[in-house]
């Protein structure tokens, strides 16, 4: 009897102790959207199941500091709940004050967390409502071709995964994804309108991937502000059925390579009709430890029919030396013969390191490379900087900046910086053949690439591709505006008329700071004076004059001082003006031809003279043309006569009636009949009756 009693007591103790350890009562809390406690639970799954449908309010599931996941059944599955909407969301998050919550498991060919047709789920890893990352979701397994960490399947829509660390340990296996937008075979919505924001995605074969169904595609995906690293195949893989997607402001890199022959930061498969925007991303250090047949690319595109790719403001730095033989090492690579639109603008690409392998007679490394014929494809490549200092590889395999296997397609390619150096197999550009001579390249590419330059640029570091040193303010780096792209990789405004090439708008190429601009009147002459505080790449100033502020004409040009950091005083005399009101402005022009206007704030009044005056001709001596200015206090008929030194009249001009004011005659003594020497000019003013009002005689010198 006593023995049975102890057996019963032991069973009770074990049951109580085991129940406490495994059930973790109250370690997960279900709360309202306003954080009011509804119920406590032993697992995330239990808390989610406690939400009854249809839901009519927002809910939160808090992971408390006591949570260990001991009673979770993996995968945790969130299924659809009727009533879910933009106001009726369900948020999974660490409880306030929790520094680190961990949801982990070891599951093969499934995921730790599955959103199975669930809508309006928010997985927020911040415990404090900001951007801190206090939640880790990890699959510990290292095998299984579909051993993912988070799956969105069967019509999971309008979900957000943010501020989380998502880990996966299957780099050595083909197939797994850290976060997968999967198939929705029976749901026409697809897995659409989902966002991944400000997460760390660590490991896996592919960190983020979409492999939807053509009938029910995964639309309107947003992948933004994430750190994606240590994958073995690709950081972001749009494998299929992702017709609309934005990939923005992500850092994608590897700290070490894996045994994968094909590696890309972003890999885009053939998705017919896709509209894809890839902007403001940084891709660094993509690598592989395979022995041979390696292809390394910052971005890979297999163009598909009707697709449009907008790729701009990205930094791509591929500088890894590899021991294995590589066939391709490209910043941006695209292929596919279907008709599509490839728009590549304002990217900065740095290619470096030592190469092994490749094929003689073809580019083995390049900043941007177009592979196939693309006969009907529209290819627009402008304002990119491509610097390639990579060396090594098979003899005769080229290292280049911009490379086009063929020039087929509808092309608009120009204003790029394409540069390669470091070995005898380095060529600045490849247009179906290698080129180091810019003039020859422009001839081969004509009418494309007429403003592209072969020039090195200075970066802050091999991986920080912001411009520095002499590249800041370099007029040759001025590109051409691209409609719709008004900021750079950092969100800084681009110059509206003369933006920098590359992703970094390092400063305006047209910055001339005007400290003052004034005018004074002396008879018929307006003297303009302006002072610059600083100048950068200043070619000069075109002085423009107007009578009505609408119609402007050039009065003259004053040469600038290039780049100076001290004040400079400029003056210009606009002489021989008629009486009346005038307006002036300066058209400041930089060395690239870009310009901006500076207006004189006040109007200028040239008055009626008080007496007859004839001014000395200017220039004097002259050859063969000069100007004779005079002032009329009243309307008069003015005649100009010119005599040689012997008194013979050689020219007569004028005779028409002129209004009171300031006027001039232009004189030209060109021709063999006029020899060098002194000439006399006489100006006579008469009224309508022919009565002489004024006569003045002066000398001038012709010097041939």
| pLDDT per residue as tens digits for the range 24-46 | 678 999 999 999 999 999 999 99
Cβ–Cβ < 8 Å for 508, 492: no
Q: Is the pLDDT of residue 6 over 50?
A: no
Is the omega angle on the peptide bond into residue 619 within 30 degrees of 0, that is, cis? yes
For residue 170, the SS3 value is coil
Burial class of residue 13 (count of CB atoms within 10 Å of its CB; 0-12, 13-18, 19+): exposed
Residue 661 · residue 579 · CB < 8 Å: yes
Other C-beta atoms closer than 10 Å to the C-beta of 554 total 10
Find the length of the chain.
704
User: Among 193-197, 289-293, 378-382, 434-438, which is the least confidently predicted range?
Assistant: 289-293
pLDDT of residue 374: 60
Radius of gyration of the chain from its Cα atoms, rounded to whole angstroms: 38
Is 613-702 in the same CATH topology as 512-606?
Answer: yes
Here the tokens at position 148 are: 């993912």
Is the pLDDT score of 9 beyond 80?
A: no
Instruction: Flag whether pLDDT at 334 surpasses 90.
Output: yes
Q: Are 504 and 467 in contact (CB under 8 A)?
A: yes
The label of the residue with tokens 């009938």 reads: 215
Q: Topology of 613-702 in CATH? A: Immunoglobulin-like (2.60.40)
Query: How many CB atoms are located within 10 Å of the residue 675 CB?
Result: 9
Is the previous residue joined to 447 through a cis bond, with omega within 30 degrees of 0?
A: yes
Check pLDDT > 80 for residue 82: yes
Average pLDDT, rounded, for the chain = 90
DSSP E strands in 169-233: the ranges are 177-181, 195-197, 200-203, 206-211, 221-224, 227-229
DSSP letters, 73-93, are: -SSEEEE--TT--SSS-EEEE
Three-state SS string over 476-488 comes to: HHECCCCCCCCEC
Out of 2.60.40.10, 1.20.1250.20, 2.60.40.60, 3.90.1150.10, select the CATH number for domain 512-606: 2.60.40.10
Number of neighbours of residue 472 by Cβ within 10 angstroms:
16
Strand partners, 433: none
For the chain, what is the largest distance between any 2 Cα atoms, rounded to a whole number of angstroms?
157
Report whether 560 contacts 541 (CB < 8 A): yes
The confidence score (pLDDT) of residue 131 equals: 87
Higher-pLDDT residue of 426, 661: 426
Return the higher-pLDDT residue of 50 and 689: 50
- Arithmetic mean of pLDDT, 537-543: 90
Q: How far is CA 563 from the centre of its chain?
A: 26
Under the banding of pLDDT at 50, 70 and 90, the label for residue 533 is confident
Q: What is the pLDDT of residues 174-197, one digit of tens each?
A: 999 999 999 998 888 999 999 999
**What is the token pair recorded at 112?**
């730790």
Q: How far apart are CA 452 and CA 368, in angstroms?
A: 14
Exposure of 579 by Cβ count < 10 A (0-12 exposed, 13-18 middle, 19+ buried)? middle
Is the pLDDT at 1 greater than 70? The verdict is no
pLDDT of 22 higher than 70:
no
Q: For residues 490 and 487, what is the distance between their CA atoms, to the nearest angstrom?
A: 8
- What is the average pLDDT across 52-74? 95
| pLDDT of 17 over the 70 cut | no
Could you tell me the strand order of the sheet in which 101-105 lies?
A: 101-105, 135-139, 164-168, 200-203, 227-229, 251-253, 282-284, 315-318, 348-351, 385-388, 417-420
Instruction: Please return the burial class of 275, using the count of CB atoms within 10 Å of its CB with bins 0-12, 13-18 and 19+.
Output: middle
Quick one: 86 exposed, middle or buried, by C-beta within 10 A (0-12, 13-18, 19+)?
A: exposed
Structure tokens belonging to residue 696: 């003045």
pTM higher than 0.85, yes or no? no
pLDDT of residue 124: 98
The confidence score (pLDDT) of residue 379 equals 94
Identify which of 185, 177, 114 has the alpha carbon closest to the alpha carbon of residue 146: 177
- Say whether pLDDT at 509 is over 90: no
* Range name among 91-95, 500-504, 521-525, 685-689 with the lowest pLDDT average: 521-525
Task: Note the Cα 22 to chain centre separation in Å.
Answer: 53
Q: Is 268 helix (H, G, I), strand (E, B) or coil?
A: strand
Q: What are phi and psi of 454, to 5 degrees?
A: -100, 100
Q: Return d(Cα 491, Cα 305) in angstroms, integer.
A: 32
435, 445 contact by CB (below 8 A): no
Question: pLDDT digits over 557-614, tens only?
Answer: 999 988 877 788 899 999 888 888 999 999 998 876 778 889 998 888 888 888 888 8
Q: What is the pLDDT of residue 430?
A: 97
pLDDT confidence of 4, banded at 50, 70, 90?
A: very low
List, for residues 363-390, the tens digit of each pLDDT value: 999 999 999 766 778 999 999 999 999 9
Asked whether residue 80 carries a pLDDT value surpassing 70, the answer given is yes
pLDDT at 699 over 60: yes
Q: What is the pLDDT of residues 408-418, one digit of tens each?
A: 889 999 999 99
**331 φ/ψ angles, rounded to the nearest 5 degrees:** -70, -60
Whether the Cβ atoms of residue 547 and residue 582 lie closer than 8 Å to each other: yes
Beta bridge partners of 221: 245
Cis omega before residue 519 (within 30°)? Answer: no
Q: Kindly state the average pLDDT of the residues 66-91.
A: 96
CA–CA distance, 17 with 600 (Å, rounded to integer): 88
Q: Scanning the structure block, which residue is given the tokens 């400063």?
A: 507
Beta bridge partners of residue 245, listed in sequence order: 221, 276
Q: Does the N-terminal peptide bond of residue 621 adopt cis geometry, omega within 30 degrees of 0?
A: yes
Q: Identify whether the C-beta of residue 429 lies closer than 8 Å to the C-beta of residue 384.
A: no
* Domain extents in the chain: 292-507, 512-606, 613-702
């Amino acid at each position: 009897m006593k023995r049975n009693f102890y057996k019963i007591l032991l069973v009770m103790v074990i049951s109580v102790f085991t129940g406490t350890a495994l059930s973790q009562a109250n370690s997960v809390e279900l709360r309202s959207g306003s954080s009011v406690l509804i119920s406590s639970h032993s697992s995330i799954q239990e808390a989610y199941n406690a939400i009854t449908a249809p839901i009519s309010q927002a809910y939160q599931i808090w992971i408390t500091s006591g949570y260990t996941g001991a009673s979770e059944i993996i995968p945790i599955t969130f299924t659809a709940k009727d009533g879910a909407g933009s106001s009726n969301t369900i948020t999974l998050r660490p409880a306030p004050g929790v520094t680190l919550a961990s949801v982990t498991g070891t599951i093969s060919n499934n995921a730790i967390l599955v959103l199975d047709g669930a809508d309006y789920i928010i997985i927020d890893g911040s415990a404090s409502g900001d951007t801190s990352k206090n939640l880790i979701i990890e699959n510990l397994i290292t095998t299984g071709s579909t051993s993912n960490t988070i799956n969105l399947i069967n019509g999971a829509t309008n979900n957000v995964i943010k501020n989380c660390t998502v880990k996966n340990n299957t780099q050595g296996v083909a197939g797994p994804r850290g976060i997968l937008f999967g198939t929705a075979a029976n749901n026409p919505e697809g897995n659409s309108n989902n966002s991944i924001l400000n997460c760390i995605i660590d490991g896996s074969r592919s960190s983020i991937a979409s492999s939807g169904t053509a009938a029910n595609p995964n639309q309107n995906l947003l992948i933004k502000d994430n750190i994606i690293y240590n994958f073995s195949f690709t950081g972001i893989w749009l494998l299929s059925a992702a017709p609309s997607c934005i990939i923005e402001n992500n850092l994608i890199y590897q700290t070490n390579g894996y045994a994968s022959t094909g590696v890309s930061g972003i890999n885009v498969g053939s998705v017919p009709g896709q509209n894809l925007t890839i902007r403001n991303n940084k891709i660094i250090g993509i690598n592989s430890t395979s022995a041979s047949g390696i292809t390394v690319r910052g971005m890979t595109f297999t163009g598909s029919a009707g697709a449009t790719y907008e790729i701009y403001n990205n930094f791509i730095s591929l500088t890894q030396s590899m021991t294995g033989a590589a066939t391709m090492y490209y910043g941006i690579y695209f292929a596919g013969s279907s008709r599509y639109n490839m728009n590549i603008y304002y990217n900065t690409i740095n290619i470096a390191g030592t190469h092994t392998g490749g094929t003689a007679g073809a580019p083995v490394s390049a900043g941007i490379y177009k592979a196939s014929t693309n006969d009907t494809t529209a290819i627009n490549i402008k304002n990119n900087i491509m610097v390639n200092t990579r060396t090594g590889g098979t003899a005769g395999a080229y290292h280049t900046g911009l490379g086009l296997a063929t020039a087929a397609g509808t092309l608009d390619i120009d204003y790029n910086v394409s540069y390669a150096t470091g070995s005898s197999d380095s060529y600045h550009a490849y247009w179906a053949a290698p080129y180091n001579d810019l003039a020859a390249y422009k001839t081969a590419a004509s009418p494309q690439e007429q403003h592209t330059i072969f020039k090195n640029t200075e970066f802050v570091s091999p991986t920080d591709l912001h411009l520095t040193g002499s590249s800041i303010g370099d007029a040759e780096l001025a590109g051409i505006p691209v409609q719709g792209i008004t900021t750079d990789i950092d969100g800084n405004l681009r110059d509206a008329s003369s933006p920098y090439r590359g992703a970094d708008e390092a400063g305006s190429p047209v910055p001339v700071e005007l400290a003052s601009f004034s005018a004074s009147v002396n008879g018929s002459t307006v003297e303009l004076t302006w002072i610059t505080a600083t100048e950068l790449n200043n070619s000069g100033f075109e002085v423009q004059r107007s009578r009505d502020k609408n119609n402007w004409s050039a009065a003259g040009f004053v040469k600038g001082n290039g780049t100076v950091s001290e004040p400079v005083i400029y003056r210009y005399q606009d002489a021989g003006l008629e009486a009346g009101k005038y307006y002036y402005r300066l058209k400041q022009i930089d060395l690239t031809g870009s310009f901006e206007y500076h207006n004189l704030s006040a109007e200028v009044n040239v008055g009626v003279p008080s007496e007859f005056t004839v001014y000395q001709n200017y220039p004097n001596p002259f050859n063969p043309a000069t100007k004779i200015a005079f002032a009329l206090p009243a309307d008069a008929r003015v005649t100009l006569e010119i005599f040689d030194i012997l008194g013979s009249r050689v020219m007569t001009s004028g005779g028409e009636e002129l209004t009171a004011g300031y006027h001039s005659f232009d004189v030209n003594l060109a021709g063999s009949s006029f020899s060098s020497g002194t000439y006399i000019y006489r100006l006579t003013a008469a009224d309508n009756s022919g009565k002489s009002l004024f006569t003045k005689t002066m000398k001038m010198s012709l010097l041939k």
